[in-house]
Amino acid sequence: MDGEDPRPEAGRLISAKRWLALGTVDQSGIPSVSYVPFASVDGAFGVVVSRLAAHTANLLARRPASLLLVDDDAEQPDAYARARFTIGVTAQTNAPGSARASAIWSALESRHGATVRTLRALPDFQAISLEPVSGRLVLGFASAHDLGADAIVELLRVR
């Protein structure tokens, strides 16, 4: 926990990563982890999720959730020293056709391509905003930094 400003590195992870690991909890308290492509939208992580997926039910029920962004092997071959950013989030649903849902769909299509258009035509996919609560950025050994919601929101707004 040194004196360096962790925000540039946190911003780099947000910009460089195209997907996140999403951790949710079911009604019995059993955790589940899944893979979700994302885009930064209005200070949140914009995702679209299928109602057929377990994580969607957990998010719609507004249960605790967190996400993880991790550097790839190419950036840091030592698995123990990789930069990683864990962020607690709250899920906000967005009504189909709403301005926020449309912004999420558009940002995802811009970032991830034509597959998003296909998903948008499927009736089981829903746009959700994962809004940051707090985060912990680990930049290797003895370098951990806590970031508040406001700092993370600001990083998402400039991406």
Residue spans of the domains in the chain: they are 7-157
Indicate the pLDDT class of residue 140, thresholds 50, 70 and 90: confident
Per-residue model confidence (pLDDT) at position 72: 85
Per-residue model confidence (pLDDT) at position 142: 85
- Quickly count: other Cβ atoms within 10 Å of residue 26's Cβ: 14
- Please give the model's pTM, rounded to 2 decimal places: 0.93
User: Pairing between strand 125-138 and 44-50?
Assistant: antiparallel
Give, in words, the CATH class of 7-157.
mainly beta
DSSP alpha helix (H) spans, the chain: 7-16, 54-60, 99-112, 115-121, 149-157
Q: For the residues 145-159, what does the mean pLDDT come to?
A: 93
Indicate the pLDDT class of residue 1, thresholds 50, 70 and 90: very low
d(CA 91, CA 64) in angstroms, rounded, equals: 9
**8 A C-beta contact, residue 99 and residue 42:** no
17 vs 54, 114, 152, CA distance in Å?
23, 18, 15
Q: What is the pLDDT of residues 121-135, one digit of tens each?
A: 999 999 999 999 999
More confident site: 56 or 77:
56
Q: What secondary structure letter does DSSP report for 74?
A: T
